[in-house]
Amino acid sequence: MDTKIRIGVIGAGHLGQYHVQKYRAIEEVDLVGIVDTDEERALEIAKRYDTRIFKSAGEILGNVDAVSIAVPTGSHFEVAKEALSNGVHLLVEKPITYGESQAEELIDLASKNGLALQVGHVERFNPAVVKMESLLTRPIFIESHRLNLFTVRGTDVDVVLDLMIHDLDIILHLVRSEIRELHAVGMSVITGKTDIANVRIIFQNGTVANLTASRVSNKTLRKIRLFQPDAYISVDCFKKDISVTRLDNSSGSDTLPQIVTSKMAYPDADPLYDEISAFVTAVRERTAPVVTGEDGARALKVALAIIGQIEKGCKDFESIC
């Protein structure tokens, strides 16, 4: 494309407003407008970023080449299907949909129409995570903790689809193997849905992953630790830094080997900007997105399996298992 890409944002809530902000900062983008059911909110965001308001998804889709969808998860499928059916490239926030069959339908529709379908797993663009991937050899054990303070935002889904799915996507991307076993537990604390969850995943190649997510913590923690034969790697997704601990034999055969740790930090990085820039590039160059619809569907499938296992077991503090 030689001209600017016409892009809109459907859903200008907490996350959608940042999509608007990032698109406004990209020179190759013509920010056409936004859609939001909250008229007052729409007016505020449109004024802040000097763009138009459209009354509905149907109205804006005839005026754009691509859209971001940041509406509640329950509306993802309906809005995404309308966009893809109208020949519009799509960046949809995670999780891709509520159901596997819906996700597959969107993937097939995007493929049939030759459209980019990217899923908003923003941690994939965290520079510390990107660096970790480049250092990967043969992971033996992976542990992730994603803990948040409680907020009302995101409670339309349980903690697995709200938080844990970020780490599921990363781990499924890193470990190129099918899952052999999955053991999950979780419980409700505040919302009536699962607010704390833990899962142990054993892959066919022997890699083991242990994931914990909570949205009722007293602190924010977003860490991934990875053990492999030549290194221990620790990533802090919140601080955007990484440390790598290895055995150093460079001192010679007469002395004991030393354990050395190197650290790298990327405090000024903006993963959401990088995610949205990657989407713009995929649309412009007609290439596959970094995080594809298939990636989103794979993470969703495992998340739903975890939720299903939790629902069969202990969910509430009051229950006796």
CATH at 92: 3.40.50.720
Of the residues 86, 115, 144, the one at which a domain ends: 115
Do 168 and 263 belong to one domain?
Answer: yes
- Provide the b/e sequence for 148-174 (b: ≥16 CB within 10 Å): bebeeebbebbbbbbbbbbbbbbbbbb
The gap from C-alpha 21 to its chain's centroid, in whole angstroms, comes to 19
Of the residues 83, 115, 147, the one at which a domain ends: 115
Do 157 and 209 belong to one domain?
Answer: yes
Of the residues 115, 147, 168, the one at which a domain ends: 115
* CATH code where residue 233 lies: 3.30.360.10
The pLDDT tens digits of the residues spanning 205-241 come to 999 999 999 999 989 999 999 999 999 999 999 999 9
Is 283 contained in some domain? Answer: no
Is 317 contained in some domain? Answer: no
Is 21 contained in some domain? Answer: yes
Is 287 contained in some domain? Answer: no
Do 130 and 168 belong to one domain?
Answer: yes
Do 20 and 71 belong to one domain?
Answer: yes
Is 81 contained in some domain? Answer: yes
Is 286 contained in some domain? Answer: no
Is 291 contained in some domain? Answer: no
Helices (H), 113-262: 127-134, 159, 165-174
Q: Measure the CA–CA gap between 89 and 66, rounded to whole angstroms.
A: 4
Beta strand pairing status for 208-214 and 196-203?
antiparallel
Tokens of 109: 């529709």
Do 144 and 67 belong to one domain?
Answer: no
Do 86 and 215 belong to one domain?
Answer: no
Do 93 and 164 belong to one domain?
Answer: no
Do 48 and 178 belong to one domain?
Answer: no
The gap from C-alpha 108 to its chain's centroid, in whole angstroms, comes to 21
Do 255 and 174 belong to one domain?
Answer: yes
Do 169 and 307 belong to one domain?
Answer: yes
Predicted TM-score (pTM) of the model is 0.92
Q: Which residues lie closer than 8 Å to 20 by C-beta, 6 or more apart?
A: 9, 12, 31, 34, 45, 49, 51
Is 59 contained in some domain? Answer: yes
Please identify every stretch of the chain with a pLDDT value under 70, giving residue numbers as ranges.
1-2, 154, 249-255, 314-321
Which helix (DSSP H) or strand (DSSP E) does residue 8 occupy?
strand 5-10
Do 159 and 222 belong to one domain?
Answer: yes
At 321 the pLDDT is: 46
At 320 the pLDDT is: 47
Do 98 and 128 belong to one domain?
Answer: no
Q: How many CB atoms lie within 10 A of CB 78?
A: 14
Residue 200 DSSP class: E
Tokens of 153: 């935002």
Our count of domains for the chain comes to: 2
Q: Measure the CA–CA gap between 30 and 51, rounded to whole angstroms.
A: 10
Question: 107: domain range?
Answer: 5-115
At 226 the pLDDT is: 98
Which string of DSSP letters, residue by residue, matches 258-270? EEEEEEEE-TT--
